[in-house]
Structure 1
Amino acid sequence: MEKNNRVVVGMSGGVDSTVAAYKLKEMGYDVIGVNMRLWQDEEMEDAHFERDGGCCSLSSAEDARRVCEQIGIPFYALDFKDVFKETVVDYFIDAYFKGETPNPCIACNKYVKFEALLEKAHALGAYYVATGHYAKIKYASEIDRYVVEKSDADEKDQTYALYNLTQNQLKHILMPLGDFKSKEDVRKVAAGFDTAMSRKSDSQEICFVPDQDYVGFLKRNSDKTIAKGSFLDVEGKVIGEHQGIVNYTIGQRKGLGVTFGKPMYVIDIDTSNNAIVLGDNSDVFKSTLMAKDVNFILMSSLEEPMHCTAKVRYSAKEAPCTIYPEGDVVRVEFDHPQRAITPGQAIVFYKENYLLGGGTIKRG
């Protein structure tokens, strides 16, 4: 597609995407606002959820329409329900029944925001798509690659969820919030044209799960049986009964439903035997993991061992490690043991201030 200055902005109805659209128009881009209709079930028609339920709610779509009118840009509401269900919701459900802890936002970024939306953008004659992510995308001429750099707002940096981006996608993506120093600075910009928007709270973690009751969501949206099974100690002895593997995640201590006379932690989920393995806090720490479905951004592939830093979950601190290529997977050896390395979660690699790449933590 021939390069132009038209950009489609994914408008969730929140502060970040609104300011992203505003800034891009201010910078001279030909901006189109698009609200992505992703998910709707009967519970999301609840008045409370419609008011506070984040980017999947009808009220947020109306907020997006209203601010586009205020900014003075065209607005479209487009249906992405089918691709969202297939690539995000179905994946989310399947992962829990496999004893994994999924990352729906990462799947949404990969398949919906930066694949399906990009296709729609091109159909609308736009060269770019843009979002309200806190990250920077730049072209590095010295390596002839597009790179992703951490946001200036350390506490809001969202590069962890962007490791799947490809070079072809990166050249079509704009993220104008990467240079902001804080969320408060973003709110100040919003206050300049929409006071109500500037005070809007951040969206909830999983936009399609009301009240974050993911087990209830699994029950309503899957025909799979949540079967009870055994709690085992590290030696394989039965020490209690669990309520179904979907209720547990690695490192969990609270909510086990059984008391053992001392703190016990989930250290493994054995799906083949429908068992949850419990141990002491020290058993939750590991130094090695295998990562699958790895994508690199700073380079095309990993050819030899490399020392870098990595995060095993969004909220974790970066930890020094060495990554080793082993066929179609990457072995990660941390300098120091990490807590609750969880299958299904993303491990994301950094080289100084740049996103190196990442993958999915593999069971076993």
Structure 2
Amino acid sequence: MRTIYLDNNATTPVLPEVFEAMRPFLTEHYGNPSSPHCMGDKPASAVRDARVKVASLLGATDTEIVFTSSGTESTNIGIRGVVEMNRNKRHIITTAVEHSAVLNPVKRYGALGFDVTILPVDRAGRLDLDALRKALRDDTALVATMFANNETGVIFPIDRIVEIAHGRDVPVLVDAVQGVGKLPIDVKALGVDFLALSGHKFHGPKGVGAVYIRKGTRWAPVFLGGSQERGRRPGTENVAGIAALGVACEHAAGNLVHYHTEVRALRDRFEHELLDLVPDSFVNGIASERLPNTSNIGFAGIDGNAMLVLLDEVGICCSAGSACKSGAGLPSHVLGAMGLSPEEAASCLRFSMSSLTTCEDIDACIQHVPAIVERMRRNFISA
């Protein structure tokens, strides 16, 4: 049975050239990049080269890139770093549809006595910018928001968010884990202060990420230790992962047009045909600008988790929401914030594609999904 992988917002397969970029630093070039002898030279050079490649993808300068272990670490560095530097400012703004990598650190500060404002979205997943304007205060330390939603793919207007926040001298952190590698991102044009990314979301390895920190931004390092990353993130660098991340960024930079055209066309055909073939189905966020690879579809009256099992039996891999909350058994907080009832949210599945997704993959999925939905509905009625 062929596996059809449509869970690329959870993680992506590592490209062969990305894997090969790791190999030398796990074998012959195993030295510490901070070492002054010859065994440190190639690892140090690899870290420098990768920093330039990451910066190039984002439109940043290399000194503004800090390597981390993950997107979650990157968002925590930004959130905690700003709060530590501005202890007299005890108000944080975020949105109701954030990933737990943003929501949980912000909620932690709420438990410590900070004021937290969680901005609403509408039925299409769009952020209420007027609510942002009204929420900003003199003691607001940070606005933390995502570039694009991991469940629905809905894209936020980051340039407008930054303009509004900077109008009150409030920095902005952007969780771009789902956006980097799928859409062009220019941090200078957007004006963001922090931007988080994770390598495994765009065909890099797991365990490596980065955070862009705009030059001149006021923040305090979260971890204390050695002088790595210019003292901004101590600890011996994951050279193999960093080298691979650089290659993944190079590949992503050359693949953005493909994502915009071919991957989007696959996603649109997938949605159009399923909506035609499956009665009482709906796409969440369809009225909004979305990532070209993401489709969150609801099938009225269906238990999404049960449907996942049946899809898996025919080789189709997708998800009922964020992989980081898989197994929690709770309805999606994202879909709930968009106004879906618990029953509606529970009927939804996320299908997320990549540049490796083929027409044959989509054809097979279109063949199986309607039949599975029909069988589940028929069994429910007969029960």
TM over 0.5: no
Structure having the larger proportion of residues in helix? 2
Which protein has greater RCO, CA pairs closer than 8 Å, 6+ apart? 2
